[in-house]
Structure 1
Amino acid sequence: MEYVTHLPQNDPSVATTSVHGLSFTYPVQYYDFHVYYYAHNAKSLTESDNLRAKLLEDFPEDSANGSIIVKKLPDDKIIGPHPTQFWEADVRRPEVFIKVLSWFQLYHGNLSVLIHPQTGNDLEDHTNSALWLGHRLPLLVDVFPGNSDGAIPEFGVKRGARIQPQDFDSHKTVINKK
């Protein structure tokens, strides 16, 4: 995935610490929003690109400070468990999650959006604990059986460490400077 937005290198906690002292219910550490589109369909691709641009435009501060991590596929390949192309927005701060969730409810248009927690149980997170906006798409869940280490990808860090839920809040985010 290519990162469109990034955590601030000097102080990643700006993007990861609630300014109101809020937290998600354990073991939820953050949320992913997957916005599905069809790259071979010009209308779908344009709607997806416009929605991503609108998200960045409507949340300039949260996008700039890494509170919303936006990632997109570098090409038109499909990666499981997702059944079609997608881009993603990840949100760690609960107050930002509320704003982004209600924003997607209003603006997702014809696009399907999978919203799921990150708890360390990929299969459960993507299925029974997931929310959908628009049409629910069938996921390719056979990718999960060998991927059940119970860990959560480090928030906002490309190829970051996988952290156990109980260690997530005390983990210091380290951004590789390349």
Structure 2
Amino acid sequence: MAKDAAQLITGYHAHVYYQPETKAAAGEIRDQLGERFDVTLGRWHDAPVGPHPISMYQVVFAVTEFSKIVPWLMLNRQGLDILVHPETGNDLEDHRDNALWLGEKLKLNLAMFETA
């Protein structure tokens, strides 16, 4: 049975991954996102956090912004890897099954989302 995205997806997260040598590029992307779009910018994480295996920051945006932000990221990611996932209330599925990757797909630590 098909799921109704309009009813299930309440928003999106983009996670912009970087290394120490690419942090400046990540900062340029971050600045542009904040200037151009209606987003909430999360703090810098210079070490792995949660399921994320390397440094990253999070960008939170509404469903209505997806069609503007994701194409912009596709063309302006400066070689960085970016995870975009919906917010449906199921973190495991959102990060594992419903994710969109720009660049390389990184191996996430999904164990924190798995229930016994």
1:63-112 deviation line (CA, Å, top 9, x unaligned)? xxxx3111123x52321200111111111141x22100110011012100
Shift of 1:55: 1.8
Q: Does 1:72 align with 2:43?
A: yes
Q: Does 1:105 align with 2:64?
A: no
Which amino acid is the alignment partner of residue 58 of structure 2?
E
Match of 1:122 among 88, 91, 112: 91
Which amino acid is the alignment partner of residue 31 of structure 2?
A
* Corresponding residue number in structure 2 for 1:92: 62
Q: Does 1:53 align with 2:34?
A: no
Q: Which runs of 5+ in 2 are unaligned?
A: none
Identity rate, percent: 33
Number of aligned residues? 112
DSSP-derived class of the 1:120 partner:
coil
* Corresponding residue number in structure 2 for 1:131: 100
TM value normalised by structure 1: 0.59
Higher RCO, Cα 8 Å, sep 6+: 2
Q: Which runs of 5+ in 1 are unaligned?
A: 1-23, 147-178
